[in-house]
Amino acid sequence: MLIRPERNLPTTIDELLGPGLSQRLDRLDVMSRKVFAGRLPGERRSKRRGESVEFDDYRDYTPGDDLRRLDWNAFARFDRFFVKLFRAEEDLGLHILLDCSASMLAGGGDAPSKLLFAHRLAMALAYIGLVNQNRVSVATFGHAGADPLRRLAPLRGRRQTVRVAKFLLESLESSEHAAPSPEADQRGRGAFERALRAFGLAREGSGVVILVSDAMVAEGVESGLSYLVGGGGLDASFVQVLAPSEIAPERAAQSGLVGDLRLTDAETGRGVEVTMSGAIIRQYKQRLDAHIERVQRACAARDVGGVSLTLASRRRGYPSTPRWRSSGSPE
């Protein structure tokens, strides 16, 4: 893969989403393939008041919730805020998991980096969820440090898009300028698995979870996805993001990827000397195809909807269409 820093990182929500995109996103909504326990088939939250008086359950207060739904008797007993839920409501949660490891820096130049694309996708998904009054939470992983996840607590409502944008812009800035570390290999080994395990253990409630990652890990894909969906109650999807130079490295010859080279691991800084030849490139592409198929099988076996996307490039010759879709994912 080729690592090129982005020339101009977005600094506002409008730059992160792109011009005019928010108006188009206003027409979209989050849907689930599953009917979760305790909800009636096909129901969504009504935007009209007073449609149902059948009490169903409590949940913790989320910033942006309607204050009229607070149960003050419960607050007096437990010194915590609880919101009342009613039978005619589907309190759908949208959980977004975003890979920020150094391999996501691949791209740049003619195509956006995987990291930038992933943050833009996360912002668009969060925007759709928030404007439709769904609970939205965002978590990033792959950063330097011991914590497997960096979390933004669940939010609701259009006004909360500013908080999500701030969280994602800070994540993008810190990830874009992260330096390779010799300790990253040991620290990062199994980081994908640990992050999904931490999410699976800590999540509350049912809903839709969307994982955005390049899945460039030697181990932990299968076990990580098992942790993600193991507790049930989630409709999971996996967006695997790949850079054009990862799919067709021979097209990168104009960037100097020919002959005797020293290739450096983006995450650890360790290097290896190679002679780039047609045979080496063919072997690489065979291993990449096998890895993509491995991710596909792991998703299909766990009923995780999935799609692998190659970022568009202005340079001709790069494939830019989805490589696979697992069973249950929308066409």
More confidently predicted of 111 and 162: 162
Beta carbons within 8 Å of 272's beta carbon, 6+ residues apart? 262, 263
Per the structure, the count of domains in the chain is: 2
E strand or H helix at 99, and its extent?
strand 93-99
Does the residue 325 lie in any domain? no
Rounded Cα–Cα distance for residues 23 and 15 (Å): 14
Length of the chain: 331
27: phi then psi, degrees, rounded to nearest 5: -90, -5
Q: What is the pLDDT of residue 252?
A: 63
Contact present, 51 and 45 (Cβ < 8 Å) = no
| Residue 245 confidence class, pLDDT cut points 50, 70, 90 | confident
Indicate whether 150 and 221 sit together in one domain: yes
How many beta carbons lie within 10 A of that of residue 87, not counting itself? 15
Higher pLDDT, 131 or 326: 131
pLDDT in the model for residue 266: 75
Average pLDDT over residues 206-218: 91
Helix, strand, or coil (residue 211) = strand
Domain co-membership, 171 together with 268:
yes
pLDDT in tens, 269-295: 788 898 888 888 889 899 999 999 999
Both 64 and 150 in one domain: the answer is: no
Answer whether residue 273 is part of any domain: yes
* Residue 4: inside a domain: no
Distance CA 31, CA 184 (A): 37
- pLDDT above 70 for 47: no
Instruction: Give the CATH number, domain containing residue 197.
Output: 3.40.50.410
Confidence of residue 8 (pLDDT cuts 50, 70, 90): confident
Domain range for 70 is 55-86
> In this predicted model, what pLDDT tens digit does every residue of 32-44 receive, in sequence order?
777 554 443 334 5
Highest mean predicted confidence (pLDDT) among 32-36, 58-62, 309-313: 58-62
59 and 208 both lie in a single domain: no
**The pLDDT of residue 331:** 36
**Residue 59 and residue 181 in one domain:** no
